[in-house]
Amino acid sequence: MATDLDLAFKALADASRRALLDRLHAKNGLTLSELCENHDMSRQAVTKHLAILETANLVVTKWRGREKLHYLNPVPIHDIYTRWVGKFERGRLTALNNLKQALEKNHD
């Protein structure tokens, strides 16, 4: 059974889905029609991509009357950053900070 992190990685692996997330990052709360604008995909393809993003909890929806609005949920991306990216950066950032302090100490 796939974990939440596995689902998020799978969803982020596709360039079309990342483009949809970029659109929602630029302007949250878009309808399906708005998300289909300026895309080289059919409405059905966008719908399938959105379903994968929703399953990964990267997109959440809210109904406003008859309109279904799509919103970016940054929590899974933050979890990926914390679990996979952040731990690799800590060492480098500490090394850079130590270097800065040593250079400033030598400068004085």
DSSP line for 29-55? SB-HHHHHTT-SS-HHHHHHHHHHHHH
Cα–Cα dist 88/58, whole Å: 23
Ranked by mean pLDDT, the top range of 1-10, 52-61, 79-88, 98-107 is 52-61
**% the chain with pLDDT above 90:** 64
Report which of residues 39 and 65 the model is more confident about.
65
Give this prediction's pTM. 0.78
Please, what is the average pLDDT of the chain? 90
pLDDT of residue 1: 63
**% the chain with pLDDT above 70:** 97
Cα–Cα dist 21/65, whole Å: 23
